[in-house]
Every structure is written in C-alpha cells, then in structure tokens.
Structure 1
Amino acid sequence: MDVLAQVTEFVGVPAWGLLPVALVAAVVLFVVFDALSHVVLKPFKSPPVIGTWPVIGGMIQFLKGPIGLMNNAFPKYGEVFTVPVFHKRITFLIGPHVSEHFFKARDADMSQKEVYEFNVPTFGKGVVFDVDHLTRAEQFRFFADSLKSDRLRSYVGMMVKEAEDYFGKWGESGEVDLLDALSELIVLTASRCLLGREIRETLFSEVTTLVHDLDKGMVPLSVFFPYAPIEAHRKRDAARRDLAAIFDRVIQARREANAHEPDVLQTFIDARYRDGSRLTNDQVLGMLIAVLFAGQHTSSITSTWTGLLTIANKERVMPTLEGEQKKVMEKHGGKIDFDVLAEMDELHYAIKEALRMHPPLIMLLRQCHKPFKVTTSKGKEFVVPKGHIVATSPAFSHRLNNVFSDADTYKPSRFRQPSPEDKEKFASFIGFGGGRHGCMGETFAFMQIKTIWSILLRNFEFELVGKLPEPDYEGMVVGPKHPCTIRYKRRKL
C-alpha cells in the first residue's frame, strides 16, 4: 500500500483533498528517507516492521495496548518485529529463544537508563536512572547489601508481626476486597522494613499520603513527557519535596545518634562508595523510593493473584497448600522465620505460578547501544540496529504453549522437581527479570508473600465472590480489576 493510500485509509477521506501539497511532499520525503536509512544504508536484515503510518508509525497499535499489539503481530511476524512510534523504533523479542541477549548483555550494550529516565522526577537526582553505569552499579550494591540473608532474617520477624496484627482484626467471617486489603498490609510491612521505625510508629499516615501522591504522579504521559505541567505532576513534585523534608530530619537524627536500626533506611545511610563518599540525605530518600516503588505494587498484586487463583481452583490446589502448612507448622511448633518459610515449597510454586500468569510488569525495556544478531526458533536471522528500544514481555511470553504446558491453566505443580518447566530454556520464566538484571528483591518478595499466605491459609477458609477478575491493562502496573471480593471464615482452632 502506498503512502497516499495509507493516509486515505487512516482518515477516511481522499488524501489529496485533505493535505496541502507541501505536507504531502514532506510526508513522502519522510517515508523515502526512512526507507533508505533502514534498507539502502544498512546491509543487514532488520526485523519486519509493523505500523508504517507516516510520522506516527505504530502509535495506533500502541494505543490499543501492548498485549493487543503482540496478539496481533506475533501470529503474523513471529518472535521478532519492530514497531515505529514517532522517531523511536521499538523491537520486540518474544519468547526465550530470542530474548537471551536482552537479559545477558552488558549495560554498555543494552541499557535501562535511557528508557526509564522518566522516573527521575519521582526518584530524584543522583540515583538509579540519573547516574552513569558505574555509579548505578555501586548503588545496586547498596540494594544488595540491604537484602543479604542476615537482613532478610530480621525483616521476616517484622513481616510476621504486621500480618498477624492486621489479620487479627478481621472478624469471625466476612467479605473483603483482597487487593485493597493486601495493598494496605504491604504498605504497613514496607513502612516497617524499608522506611524505618520512626516512620511506622509516628509518621505513617503523613508519609503514606505523600507516597500515594508520588505514585499517582506516574501516569502514561509521564513516560514521554515527565515534566509536563499537569496536576498529577504538580502533586508528585510537592509530595517529593515534603517527603525530602521529613526524611531529612529522620536521617539527620540517626546520623547524629550514630544509630544502627535493622531496616533498609539504615543500610542506605551507612552505605559508602568505593571512594569513601556517601549518599546525601536526598539521595537516601531517592533510593528508598526506588525500592518502595519496585516492590510495593508488585508484591500486593502478586499476593492478590496468588489468593484469587488458589481460591478459584481450591478443590485442586488448596489441599496441597493446607497439607504443607500443617506439616511444616507441626515440625516447627507453629513458628515462622526465614528458614521455616524456605521449606514451604508448594506455597512458593503457587506464588510463582500466579506471577507467571499475571506479571505486574507486562513489558521490560532496554536501549540498544550496539547492534546484535538474533535467530528465531524457525531459523530466521535479524540484526537489531543500534538506537532501537528493545522490548520483551513476561505477560505474553509466559503464555506461550511451547514454553509452558497448558499455559492458560493455573498449575503450580509445573515448577516441581525433578523437571520444572521453567528450567528447560533460559529466560522461560521472567517474572523477576533475568540474567544481569534479575530482580534483587526476589527473595524479599517471596518471603513477604509467603508470610501473608502462611498466616491466611492456617487461620481462614475462603470462597471467591463472583467471577475471577480480569487483568486491568490500563494501569502502569497491571493488577486485577476491582472488585476482588472474597468471603472468609475463621477456622476453629
């Protein structure tokens, strides 16, 4: 289809009657030079391109949502294809066979920084996506230090206390929106383990409100225009300033008292770069916000899907989980700690399967700084050019039937030894990323969600009210649509 035919089809009227001659000429030149730059000037075979509308490229497809785009493109173009959006080109790598380079490449070759810079107004200057690769590597070391096994052991005790206190307030029976309830609990846990004792005990309500405004300041427009003068961004910036003032006081008090609190905040206060310098108070806050945002929604969403899917399939799944809880608790006298949670394999599989079916982050992105070759499972070879944004999708890849058997069925047993399905190919399961950029918070997340559901399984019986919710693809982080209502009844002990 030629350029004018495309324009005609798009607007529904004859193109010559719509466009001035100068604009038609400009569009033609744009398409010609674009074609030359990707065919004549480049001897290698680039991935097939979809959405070739002049100037706007594949924006129409993106407006329909990335899942819809992939559903339409994958059967026609296969595992590798490119979508132009304005001046950007996004190349999708779908499935483990073609995504290995995405997860194994060095930062210098495939970088997160450029595609996630829209987070800078939220996280702050001088941290994560506002620093060079070497500085960010050191900051990731600070993250890793906060999640060492001795730290995790102390966090589990905090998680247990928050969860037991929270569910202790539930009645003998009733109905709750599971997503709302678990989101509230995750915030309480995060405040205790991440933000610190002072925030949880005296400043919780104020800080929670500010974090909410900060969270709501990240809208789809923010990805393209993070500093656009909209109300959500104004509230975001005001909340960031107010949080900085609060944490400046808390951090300064700890520095002056030479405190040693068992939380992530203290880890960042004590952190030192290799040259001996330390994070400023504002950068400590930025690191905390990054950790909080990385885990808060993903944990609340995954813990909710774990419950919804288990309850929806309770005759098939619940007896195994309840039997494991009885066995482990009898062995350890009802105690929950890091080592006890680590023995709950069946619960681990149930959580992992919920994350396979409904990963909160449906797309992972990198900026390509060095061309690389990719070969599809059918033997087709393409070279992804420098400058492309490279995307892969846990949500789509996890539902491929050639990767996971009965991929649309909730089946935690698929992860059992001796032949777990996710180990057959590298990067089959990418709910926590993979390779060089695997999520360092994976163990923390599993401990948190296992704590919640260990307590719930042992203390309550559940029923799903209504149908299993659908995923809400309109959010930046994808969770189930409301309502997520369940009916609970306290067990007779």
Structure 2
Amino acid sequence: MMSQGARFSPTTMPNTSGIPVWAQILIVPIAFVALSIARHIINQLVFPNRDEPPLVFSWLPLIGSTLEYGLDPYKFYFKYQKKYGNIFSFVLVGRKHTVCLGTEGNNFVLNGAVSEISAADIYRSLTLPIFGKDVCYDCSPAKLMEQKKLLKYSLTPDKLDSFVPIFLDVMQNYVDNAKDFRGNEGTFDVIQSMAVTTIFTAAASLQGKEVREKLDHGLADLYHTLDLSFIPINFYLPGLPLPVNRRRDKAQKEIAAIYTNIIKSRREFGGEKAREGNDDMIWSLMRSTYKDGTPIPDHEIANLMIGLLMAGQHNSYSVGAWILFRLASRPDIQEELYQEQLQALGADLNVSKRDLVSRLPLHKMVVRETLRLHDPIHTVMRAVKVPLEFVSCDPETSSCRKYKIPTSHVLISAPGVTAQSAEFFPDPEKWEPKRWETMADFLEGTEKRGAMSAFLPFGAGRHRCVGEAFAYLQLSTITAFMVRNFVFRLMEGEGVPKTDYTAMITRPVAPARLRWERRIKA
C-alpha cells in the first residue's frame, strides 16, 4: 500500500507504455505539426473557397510555395498562369498572396485607389531604416506625391542635358583608376563596376560636387553598408537584431549627418551665393516648400537624397550589368553601337553633345530591350485595405468570373510577365534590341494605356518612377562610354549568366566577369 502523504509525479510514476520518456514528450508537438499539415491539405483539396482565386497547392502550411517561388519567380508565374489564368493565390511565408497578371492585372494592382490598397503597408518596414523618417513610405500618400513632384522638377530636359559631361567625367575617372582596367586587356567584375559607376554618376549629377567628393572618401562605403541590408529577411522579418542591421542603422545616421551638414554649410555660406556651382537637387529642395507653404525640413532633404540614390542605384546597376553581358554575347550589336556613335557624333565621338539619347536611338533600344528581359523588380506588392473583386476573363471562351480578394491577402503584380509574353513580343526570350525599330506604335500607345501597357519597367500609377528619363540617359551614356572605349567578350566557355533571385533586385549570378580589350578607335 502507498504510505500516507505519498504523492504521484511524472518522475515517480512507472513507465508502463514501453515508449521512452523522450519519445512521449515529442509526441505532442509532432502530432500538432501532423494535424496542421493534414488540415492544410484537406482545406485545399476538400474545402477550397470557391469565391477566392484558385490556390496553388502546397504541402506545408507556413512554407507553402515559398521555395518554388523564391528559386525563380518568373518560372513560377508562367507555370501557374498557364494552369489557372491571370489570377491565382499562393502561400508565401505563411500568408496568402494573390497574383494578378496580364495587362488587366497590372492595371488592377498598380492603379488601385489608395483607399483600397497600400504600398506603404508593405514596404515601410524595409525602407524606413534605410531611407529615414518622414519620406517615401513613412509619410502620407499625399505628402509622398508632393515629394515625388519636387524631385521631378529637378529633372528638366535642360538639366538632363547638363548631366552628360558629368557622367563622362565620372566614367573616365573610374576607368583611369580602377585596377581591373589597367593595361590594354583583362577581365573585370561587372556587378561591382556597375554598382560603383551608377552611384557615382547619379550622386555627382544630382547632388552636387560636395557629395561627389565625399563618395571618394568613405560615403560610398556607407552606401554599400545600406545596400547590404536590402535583403529578403528584412522584408519578411523586419526588426531583427542582426549585425547587418546594426551596421545599417549606424551608416544611415552617418549619411544623413553628411547631407544635413552640407545643407547647413550652404545656408551659412550665404543664400544665393551658395548656389554658385551647386545648382543641384539638394539646392532645389532647400528652396522648395510643400503646398501649404511649409519649407522642407533639412532631415527630410537628407533622407530624400538617401532614398533617391538607393532606389535608383539598385535598378541602374543591375540593368547596366545585364547590358554589358548582352553586348558581350552580341559582337554585332557592339559594332553597330560604335558605328552609330561615329555617324551621330563625329570622328571625335563627342558624347557630351545635347540630346544624346535621341542622337543614339540604337543605344536607347539596347537599354529598353534589356529592361524588357531583365526587369530589376520581378514582384510588386500591395496590402489589401478593403475587400476587393477582380474579374478575370478567358479570351478563348469569352467567359468571365469574379473573384473576391479579402484583406488577409497581399496583392502581387508582375509587369515583367507581360514584357516576356509572346502575346505582346515575338520570340520573347530572345534579346533583340532592333525589335523596337518596328514598335513605334506600341511605344506611342504605352503612354496612352498607362498601367494597361505590356511594358512597364518603371511602374505605373501614383508610384511610377520619376527618374525614367534620367535612367535612360544615365544608362545610354554609360553604354556609349563603354562601347567607345572597349570591346567586351564573354569569359571562355561561358554564356550570359543566369539570374540571381536571392536578392531584392534581380541581377546576374556571381561571379559575373567579362573580358575586355581597349578599342582601336577609327
């Protein structure tokens, strides 16, 4: 008999089941996981929500289609577009995302009303620590639109023309000092070279000589630190105390201090006199006000400058790298570009002439075709603020169906899908700049169609990039300079690299190197 006062406990009770204690402890969590998986599968197969878009089947409830999507988003989009049509949903990091493809899908997402969908709710956690407070997605939609207009005022045609000599000077200085370009031939890191040249050319032209000088003395390294934090984990799991994030926060404060000190120095130097030699975007914002007459605070000017360089540089260096790889794979196009320069600019190849882009149409076609095939942003997301409805029509049967999209979903648009679709571009997987020679009507209609266009490398709607003209000029000038001075070839036994989708911006898979030779000029 058990003595009075004895107590049962898990440690005193005998194990009569024959199952080790450690295994018994694991039974509960294993059973929970198994039941979660079973429920996830049963809900998809037995109890699908017929009112919502079709859901891509997945085995695991939290992971869903994350791995398949992450390995190659475009392959994923085309695969399930073929199966489901222009609208479907999938589970990404535990949350349903609804993909809206085709021109109607682009328009639905990119032209959505701010009362119904939100870009800020998606991207604020990523951009706020990098750009800083009170700019971009850390302010009201109305204020963001004002900020974009103020930036665009500094990108007039005359101002853009004045940037070309600055671009060329920066490029010449870079190749004169870069170790990879010593001698008459060699190899170079394409991504690293384009990352440096795009941020240097943008800073020197848009932000003035003080910023350009500081790029040579540490500012570029600080921007690189910000760049390293632009990673998916900070998008899906923001706020983690990672070393890369601590370095990011420190760099952001240092960069902002550099800009605010420049602004303070200009103000103290003496009003209009300070403008001499500083007729740049910083000066323009210093003299600007919001609609209500409020001057733009210095910290907002500083953070706008950070956002301007970070957002533009990411896209430009990726496209610039792809341009060089594509040209290396097409020696015929390289030579045609060089001959175009000779005919348009003369034997001295004076690339600094006005209206550069219009004088070199094939150069712009190269940029445009590269943007079509290598859009830096493969996925555009929006939060759903109110329940939405999307009507999807089958062009073959002319039948239409209305789907409901709840606020628990995230909307996705992928303009690169239409840009790579045979419906709009013959042989869409082929890089062929000259296709744009016969697409004048298409380009003219692009502006009229807005977000309904099949070619939207700079977005559409209220979030369309204000730097489109600047980007074409910058990339065309860099391309012209590189073609004028070098001949590029692929590395022995290698082709155009595959796309790296592990970063937030698509780019060539590293290591990404090309062979170069100094051009023997005519």
Question: Do Structure 1 and Structure 2 share a fold, with TM-score over 0.5?
Answer: yes
Say whether residues 1:399 and 2:406 are aligned partners.
Answer: no
Say whether residues 1:231 and 2:243 are aligned partners.
Answer: yes
Maintained 8 Å contact 1:120/1:130: yes
Q: Which residue among 213, 218, 222 is the counterpart of 1:206?
A: 218
| Partner SS, residue 428 of structure 1 | coil
Q: Which residue among 278, 282, 292 is the counterpart of 1:275?
A: 292
Say whether residues 1:299 and 2:286 are aligned partners.
Answer: no
Q: Which residue among 368, 382, 391 is the counterpart of 1:374?
A: 391
User: CA separation in 2, counterparts of 1:29 and 1:175?
Assistant: 55
Say whether residues 1:174 and 2:194 are aligned partners.
Answer: no
* Structure 2 counterpart of 1:153: 161
Alignment of 1:84-99 (within 5 A): 84-85=91-92, 88-99=95-106
User: CA separation in 1, counterparts of 2:36 and 2:488?
Assistant: 63
User: CA separation in 2, counterparts of 1:486 and 1:360?
Assistant: 24
User: CA separation in 1, counterparts of 2:191 and 2:41?
Assistant: 47
Amino acid at match of 1:66: P
Maintained 8 Å contact 1:194/1:292: no
User: CA separation in 1, counterparts of 2:483 and 2:33?
Assistant: 65
Amino acid at match of 2:226: L
Say whether residues 1:263 and 2:271 are aligned partners.
Answer: no
Give the % identical residues: 24
Q: Which residue among 456, 460, 463 is the counterpart of 1:437?
A: 463
Maintained 8 Å contact 2:106/2:415: no
Q: 1:65 to 1:418 in 2, by over 3 A?
A: closer
Deviation at 1:393, TM superposition (A): 1.9
Q: Which residue among 320, 326, 330 is the counterpart of 1:309?
A: 326
Larger mean CA deviation between 296-305 and 158-167 belongs to 158-167
Deviation at 1:457, TM superposition (A): 2.1
Deviation at 1:334, TM superposition (A): 2.4
Q: 1:413 to 1:20 in 2, by over 3 A?
A: closer
Say whether residues 1:484 and 2:513 are aligned partners.
Answer: yes
* Structure 2 counterpart of 1:219: 231
User: CA separation in 2, counterparts of 1:93 and 1:454?
Assistant: 37
Q: Which has the larger radius of gyration?
A: 2
* Structure 2 counterpart of 1:451: 477
Q: 1:393 to 1:334 in 2, by over 3 A?
A: same
Deviation at 1:109, TM superposition (A): 2.9
* Structure 1 counterpart of 2:487: 461
Deviation at 1:38, TM superposition (A): 8.2
Q: Which residue among 336, 339, 356 is the counterpart of 1:323?
A: 339
* Structure 2 counterpart of 1:390: 411
Say whether residues 1:48 and 2:54 are aligned partners.
Answer: yes
Instruction: Name the TM-score, length of structure 2 as normaliser.
Output: 0.82
Amino acid at match of 1:345: P
Deviation at 1:445, TM superposition (A): 0.7
Deviation at 1:237, TM superposition (A): 0.6
* Structure 2 counterpart of 1:193: 205
* Structure 2 counterpart of 1:11: none
Aligned residue pairs total 473
User: CA separation in 1, counterparts of 2:33 and 2:214?
Assistant: 62
Q: Please, what is the CA RMSD of the aligned residues?
A: 3.0
Instruction: Name the TM-score, length of structure 1 as normaliser.
Output: 0.86
Q: 1:382 to 1:56 in 2, by over 3 A?
A: farther
Deviation at 1:30, TM superposition (A): 8.4
Maintained 8 Å contact 1:332/1:340: no
C-alpha distance after superposition, 1:185-211 (max 9, x if no partner): 122212312333112224532111111
Q: 1:37 to 1:134 in 2, by over 3 A?
A: farther
* Structure 1 counterpart of 2:14: none
Say whether residues 1:351 and 2:372 are aligned partners.
Answer: no
Q: 1:395 to 1:281 in 2, by over 3 A?
A: same
Larger mean CA deviation between 242-251 and 164-173 belongs to 164-173
Deviation at 1:417, TM superposition (A): 4.0
Amino acid at match of 1:367: A
User: CA separation in 2, counterparts of 1:211 and 1:332?
Assistant: 36
Amino acid at match of 1:149: P
User: CA separation in 2, counterparts of 1:38 and 1:275?
Assistant: 51
Q: 1:398 to 1:377 in 2, by over 3 A?
A: farther
Deviation at 1:288, TM superposition (A): 0.9
Maintained 8 Å contact 2:70/2:501: no
Q: Which runs of 5+ in 2 are unaligned?
A: 1-25
Amino acid at match of 2:111: K
Deviation at 1:78, TM superposition (A): 2.1
* Structure 1 counterpart of 2:258: 246
Larger mean CA deviation between 372-381 and 328-337 belongs to 328-337
Deviation at 1:135, TM superposition (A): 1.2
Alignment of 1:12-27 (within 5 A): none
| Partner SS, residue 476 of structure 1 | coil
Maintained 8 Å contact 2:488/2:514: no
Maintained 8 Å contact 1:110/1:368: yes
User: CA separation in 2, counterparts of 1:45 and 1:192?
Assistant: 53
C-alpha distance after superposition, 1:275-321 (max 9, x if no partner): 12123222212111111111112111212211211220223x23432
Maintained 8 Å contact 1:462/1:489: no
User: CA separation in 2, counterparts of 1:295 and 1:37?
Assistant: 45
User: CA separation in 2, counterparts of 1:313 and 1:332?
Assistant: 25
Q: 1:458 to 1:380 in 2, by over 3 A?
A: same
Maintained 8 Å contact 1:151/1:262: no
Maintained 8 Å contact 1:374/1:384: no
User: CA separation in 1, counterparts of 2:92 and 2:34?
Assistant: 20
Q: Which residue among 425, 429, 452 is the counterpart of 1:408?
A: 429
User: CA separation in 1, counterparts of 2:174 and 2:118?
Assistant: 41
* Structure 2 counterpart of 1:12: none
| Partner SS, residue 99 of structure 1 | helix
Deviation at 1:455, TM superposition (A): 2.0
